[in-house]
Chain A
Amino acid sequence: DAKTTQPPSMDCAEGRAANLPCNHSTISGNEYVYWYRQIHSQGPQYIIHGLKNNETNEMASLIITEDRKSSTLILPHATLRDTAVYYCIVRASTSGTYKYIFGTGTRLKVLA
């Protein structure tokens, strides 16, 4: 199963860009990278996903390296409400079906 590695925690100043890295060196050619976040004890919230091209939406940007072995989630102007645990996920393929395997994520703290 494809696995991801993320730093356990990061700090970011309010108003600055938050860059959250993720390593997924065993990713397969057709597997997407997904990012979610979890604020306090709420359910995980979908942020963005991509295959090999950079992606941007109203919440964030996703930069995937050319070899697809790592990616970076960018929150362009972090606010206090962005304090959360961020999960990078590569969907794992098993017997023709797909499972999302969550790691322990990165705890982002946005500082005033």
Chain B
Amino acid sequence: NAGVTQTPKFQVLKTGQSMTLQCAQDMNHEYMSWYRQDPGMGLRLIHYSVGAGITDQGEVPNGYNVSRSTTEDFPLRLLSAAPSQTSVYFCASRRGTYNSPLHFGNGTRLTVT
């Protein structure tokens, strides 16, 4: 049981490039979400999904797209990277039960130059 797996661990992009951050969980969790973490800002919710085929925006969705075609995977796409998207990105999942806690991956550190 690997939990929440994020790839890659590190990535450097040039402004305007696109890429996809991968997130997979093997716990059959219904709910998945993406956060970004910047110094002094805590974790901020980007997008989330309550099940396959269903996604919604969080606090800071601009510049990011998501889709949820399977229960296991929840990729985050940057269509045209900007320096403001330099951050550490965390994926998290939980069961659909009302009070279930989130389980986090170990993050992807992204630098946009």
Q: A residues near B, CB below 8 A?
A: 32, 34, 36, 41-46, 49, 51, 87, 97, 99-105
Partner of A100, one of B45, B88, B105, B107: B45
Q: Is the interface of B mostly helix, strand, loop or mixed?
A: strand
Cβ–Cβ contact A87 & B56, under 8 A: no
Cβ–Cβ contact A102 & B107, under 8 A: no
Cβ–Cβ contact B42 & A104, under 8 A: yes
Partner of B107, one of A42, A45, A49, A104: A42
Whether a CB of chain A sits under 8 angstroms from the CB of B104 is yes
Known contacts A34-B101, A44-B90, A49-B101; is A99 also within 8 Å of B106 by CB? no
Nearest-Cβ distance from residue B60 to partner chain A, whole angstroms: 12
**In the bound complex, CA of A49 to CA of B59 (Å):** 23
